[in-house]
A = this chain, B = another copy of it.
Amino acid sequence: VNAPERLLAPGPVAVPAAVLAALALPVVHHRTPAFVEVWQRARRQLATIMGVSGDDTVILSGSGTAAFEAVLLASVPRGGRVLALCGGKFGERWALLARTFGFEVAELDVAWGETFDADVVAARVRAFAPDAVTVVHSETSTGTLHDIEALARAVRAAAPDTLVLVDAVTSLAAMPLHPHAWDIDALVAGSQKGVMLPPGLGFVWLSERAWNRAPDAATRVASFSLDLHRERVRQRDGDTTATPATSLVVAADVAFAQLLTTGIERRAADLQRRNRALLAAGVTLGMQPLSVRPSPAVAAMLTPASLSAPAVTRALAARGWRIAGGQDHLTPRLLRPSALGDVGDADVVAFAEVLEQVVAELGGPAAASGVGAAAARTVLEAPIELGGPR
């Protein structure tokens, strides 16, 4: 299949040419010194991108969902209590996941696009006494960046031993992460997002507190191919239980090196500029940002009531642009373009122009010609702030 579409979605994302080229290298056997060198370098680079000391990361062959499952089963004792901070599709998924494995689950919800109040979270932690709190850093379904630092501090103050398990699927490599300073217990990510790889790898880091919470397999829900405790020991030695997705790992090594050459702070600033530019273009065309705290990884915007979001995504696709629409109750109204992949400023401006054409064609709010692209350009040309969002 040859993909003519320009991918402007919050994952899967457009992958840089050098990374695609690495995928096409001849297959190497996973039990060779050449592959083990790539593997260990990829794990070390992943640690740097995750902002963790040492190189104690785990690379799984599978989805980000599988990686989150692995983290939950590795760190929460069987029958334990999980408080899931929902507020979006992925927050809800971790509640469902925990319930599926027999954990006692409480959900704390907010309207999609809203953030959690740290005091409310703390009160729920005191009342429910969970073993673990699950929280999504950048909730892709709503475009919301949750304040992990503040939430983790609130959890820690309410009950110091509670694990804070963070879905960093769309925040990894989209912004600097500080797991030690934030005092959190797990980072989970997937390959098809900020690190700009195809889907198929999951990335995990756990705190020592999380590793030590249920060290005896007899106290955990059974797992085999997703057993992080065994995998951690093997991966330190350059080994894995089952054959890993070697081609994706070879590509990851290249992608991670590119990202670290750019620098995560610089990359985060570019992403934030581009996604703000997408939001600004949308606003001039009558859209409304969904989130009160927009993620740097995606520009989630509601269409005016008169404009069907699926009609917009279809019209964009007909012009060769692929963005994400909304999920669940927001399907009729939500658009989620994103500059998360190998997307430059020029792509953002070109997209703004096409979005303007589509809105006009579909009878959306009238706007002066060129205002969408102009709004995007204004944001893109503003001085760059390093440091990134929290």
Which residues from chain A sit less than 8 Å from chain B, CB to CB?
1-3, 5, 7, 9, 11-15, 20-21, 23-30, 32, 34-35, 37-38, 61-66, 69, 97, 100-102, 190, 192, 198-200, 221-226, 241-248, 250, 253, 317, 322, 324, 341
Q: List 13 A-B contacts (CB under 8 A).
A: A1-B25, A1-B253, A12-B27, A20-B24, A20-B27, A23-B23, A24-B24, A32-B322, A61-B200, A62-B242, A199-B245, A247-B248, A248-B248
Which residues from chain B contact A29 at a C-beta distance below 8 Å?
5, 7, 9, 12, 322, 324
Contact A23 B65 (CB under 8 A): no
The residue that A222 contacts in the complex, of B63, B100, B199, B242, with Cβ under 8 A, is B100
Q: How far is the CA of A26 from the CA of B320 in the complex (A)?
A: 14
Most chain B beta-carbon contacts within 10 A, residue among A29, A35, A223:
A29
Q: Could you tell me the dominant secondary structure of chain A's interface residues?
A: loop
Give the chain B neighbours of A64 by CB distance below 8 A: 242-243
Q: Is the CB of A21 within 8 A of B20?
A: no
| A222: B residues at CB distance < 8 A | 100-102, 221
Q: Are A63 and B65 in contact (CB under 8 A)?
A: no
- Complex contact A5–B28 (CB within 8 A): yes
Q: Are B224 and A65 in contact (CB under 8 A)?
A: yes
Number of this chain's copies in the assembly equals: 2
Q: How far is the CA of A341 from the CA of B7 in the complex (A)?
A: 34
Q: Is the Cβ of A200 less than 8 Å from the Cβ of B65?
A: no
Nearest CB on B from A140, distance (A): 11
CB contact under 8 A between A245 and B245, given known A3-B34, A12-B29: yes
Closest to A60 in B: B62
- Scoring A11, A198, A244 by chain B CB atoms within 10 A of each residue's CB, the highest score goes to A198
The distance in angstroms between the C-alpha atoms of A29 and B6, with both chains bound, is 10
A162 to chain B, nearest CB (A): 23
A223 to B117, CA, bound (A): 32
Contact between A26 and B3, CB atoms less than 8 A apart: yes
CA of A23 to CA of B25 in the docked complex: distance in angstroms?
9
Nearest B residue to A190 via CB reads B243
Could you say which residues of chain B place their CB within 8 Å of the CB of A322? 29, 32
Q: Would A65 and B225 count as touching, CB distance under 8 A?
A: yes
Question: How far is A101 from B63 in the complex, measured between Cα atoms in Å?
Answer: 22
Of B3, B61, B223, the residue contacting A27 (CB under 8 A) is B3
Please name all residues of chain B whose beta carbon is closer than 8 Å to the beta carbon of A198 when the two chains form the complex: 27, 245-248
Q: B199 contacts A244, CB within 8 Å? A: yes
- A199 to B246 Cα, complex, angstroms: 6
Please determine whether B12 and A25 come into contact, CB atoms closer than 8 angstroms.
no
Q: Could you tell me the distance in whole angstroms from the C-beta of A271 to the nearest C-beta in chain B?
A: 18
Question: Inside 8 A of A9's CB, which chain B residues have their CB?
Answer: 29
CB of B20 within 8 A of CB of A1, answer no
Cβ B247 vs Cβ A23 within 8 A? yes
Residue of B nearest to A240 (CB): B63
Check B1 against A63 for contact (C-beta < 8 Å): no
A101 & B243 in contact (Cβ 8 Å cutoff) = no
Q: How far is the CB of A309 from chain B (nearest CB, A)?
A: 14
Chain B residues with CB below 8 A from A38, complex form: 1
Bound-state Cα–Cα, A326 to B61, Å: 25
| Residue contact A28 to B11, C-beta cutoff 8 Å | no
A62 surroundings in chain B (CB, below 8 A): 61-62, 66, 225, 242
Query: How far is the CB of A223 from the nearest CB of chain B, in Å?
Result: 8
Partner of A69, one of B12, B65, B225, B248: B225
Taking a contact as CB atoms under 8 Å apart, the answer to whether B5 and A243 are in contact is no
Query: How near does chain B come to A80, taking the closest CB pair, in angstroms?
Result: 14
Q: How far is the CB of A38 from chain B (nearest CB, A)?
A: 5
Minimum CB–CB distance from A66 to chain B (whole Å) comes to 4
The closest CB in chain B to the CB of A191 belongs to B245
